[in-house]
Amino acid sequence: MPHTPFQQHFLWGASTSSYQIEGALHKHSRGDSVWDMAARVEGFIARGETAETACDHVARLDEDLDLMAELGLKAYRFSIAWPRVIPAGVGGVSEEGVAFYERLVDGLLARGIEPLATLFHWDYPTALFQRGGWLSPDSPRWFADYAALIARRFGDRVKWWVTLNEPQCFIGLGHELGQHAPALKLPLDQVLTAAHHALLAHGLAVDAVREHAAPDAKVSLAPIAVVDFPASDEPADIEAARRGTFERCEGQTELGVTRMFNSGWWFEPVVRGAYPESFMEQWGGVRPPIASGDMDIISRPIDFLGMNLYHGRRVRAGADGEPVEVPDRVGAPTTTMGWPITPDAMYWMARFFHERYELPLVVTENGRAVADEIDADGRVRDTQRIAYLDRYLRALGKSIADGADVAGYFAWSLMDNFEWTHGYAQRFGLVHVDFDTQKRTIKDSGRWYASVIQNNGPTASIDAAKADA
């Protein structure tokens, strides 16, 4: 095997989420979620598409497990649909729903694939939303009870856990901008209330995993890593990028500007036990409703940092050392989502977060959307995706060589899926899905990623990776 900066037991995996692939929305006594609720609003999802079938993963589980084995995955990150296992969010358990995840976990282990379970990837039970959702002071306890159930049922087999996925999205886009479910446009004080309750839910879920899972279980959360990276190697630019990464209190998404789209609000209280005071000053003194003991719960010790990283913002140091964005050149390539391609963000993310928090990192999502097509010979030649993954992985490897502690990398996504408000138009998968027939086809990127896993890192001889991203 060629020399590689990645550790011997590096977690090479791929990620999915329950709502985006499972389908079977009305099977196993599954309850309604806020995304089901939002999808019924005309115009909320592009072309009126729904996740009713999605990738039909519930019905095609064994086929999908075999695909993972064919790709040589060492690990698989999936999410559990809260309303599939507890239809009303609290109370009665659907044993049919639990049994599906039993089959999934056991099938992974039988194929030598490490399961990483995410407890919440946005499919909040509608029944609880109608009782206040994340705004309710009871919401952390509702989530803790759900987490305890899952930890009791699966803690003997699942060693890696993520509590919440991308709170910037389900709080910022879902409760501030109204562009994701549950489609609320709340004033800042209520947004911060929902955010605070979500972080309390995270802390209580950490407790549940500690109590019910195996002693060697590892637990974290997986926010978006909102990263500034320096336009040069000048110390002033590096320091400006570091400041921007942790001190910038609002950010731009493809859907608009939300004050929740940042790194500091989510990582600082979890790792350091306090919200950034400078953020609240910039927000006019509006604060979350912090009760005695709350920050102790939120900052329960975690074992790693889950990081979802797709792109970053290039900055230079301004007159006072503040980060000033350096726009991309005109015509710079983007993904079909319109996201910039910035592999340097991967290097600096790993470096900045390792230096600041001194915890191992796991890249829980990274990938790009491509307008994939199946060629006449049946292949999907997605060279743009290969080039993207190659560049980001090389940047990650460089950060490891320079001292960052990185334990794993999960490509987004295992397969093409239901991409939220975009419906089925955006394809992120290593595996192509024909949504009319549900036929799976491993793309060239999937074959390439299999070679990366086999070699414990990208090699220098991959011609496809030379394609212009």
From the list 122, 26, 138, the residue with the least C-alpha distance to 81 is 122
Query: What SS3 string covers the chain?
Result: CCCCCCCCCCEEEEECCHHHHCCCCCCCCCCCEHHHHHHCCCCCCHHHCCCCCCCCCCCCHHHHHHHHHHHCCCEEEEECCHHHHCCCCCCCCCHHHHHHHHHHHHHHHHCCCEEEEEEECCCCEHHHHCCCHHHCCCHHHHHHHHHHHHHHHHCCCCCEEEEEECHHHHHHHHHHCCCCCCCCCCCHHHHHHHHHHHHHHHHHHHHHHHHHCCCCCEEEEECECCCEEECCCCHHHHHHHHHHHHHCCCEEECCEEECCCCCHHHHHHHHHCCCCHHHHHHCCCCCCCCCCCHHHHHCCCCCCEEEECCCCEEEEECCCCCEEECCCCCCCCECCCCCECCCHHHHHHHHHHHHHHCCCEEEEECCCCCCCCCCCCCCCCCHHHHHHHHHHHHHHHHHHHCCCCEEEEEEECCECCCCHHHCCCCCCCCEEECCCCCCEEECHHHHHHHHHHHHCCCCCCCHHHHCCC
Task: For residue 2, count CB atoms less than 10 angstroms from its CB and return exposed for 0-12, middle for 13-18, buried for 19 or more.
Answer: exposed
Q: Is 247 a known active-site residue?
A: no
Work out the angle at residue 410's Cα, subtended by the Cα atoms of residues 406 and 414, and round it to the nearest 5 degrees. Answer: 170
Q: Is 365 a known active-site residue?
A: yes
Catalytic residue among 166, 176, 247, 419: 166
288 and 198 Cβ atoms separated by less than 8 Å: no
146 and 97 Cβ atoms separated by less than 8 Å: no
**Preceding omega of 182 cis (within 30 degrees of 0):** yes
Catalytic residue among 114, 268, 365, 419: 365
Q: Token digits for 138?
A: 């009871």
Q: What residues are annotated to the active site?
A: 166, 365
